[in-house]
Structure 1
């Protein structure tokens, strides 16, 4: 699970890492295909481009900590 607070260059690199491993990297470690990424909308000016969002599964935006908790609880593999 990745929780993003803003879009620094490092965050964009991590998102690219997730995108790559969801598409190509699962053959080495199948768990890399199931990476969830939650982005705090309070810390960004705009969302990612739609073409990028479509290529990352498990990507979601949240507006407060309650929404983040709900997103995490929706995935049994994360709420342990």
Structure 2
């Protein structure tokens, strides 16, 4: 578990997927952003809600849809 959580209430976190563009290339995406501070706990990188909203819907949903692709429900020829 994160030690930083001891200083901050987890209720203050809101789920999000930030995608950092470094020199025009896609970087790591982070989840768990502090609502009040609006800063991502990703080392020295920071972002705001506005930054996240600038990310195209396809890329934002892409990270979430990854798990859904391998979901047993979507397997063709499954038990239906």
With structure 2 as the length reference, what TM-score do the two structures score?
Answer: 0.25
Higher relative contact order (CA 8 A, sep 6+): 1
Structure number with larger C-alpha Rg? 2
With structure 1 as the length reference, what TM-score do the two structures score?
Answer: 0.25
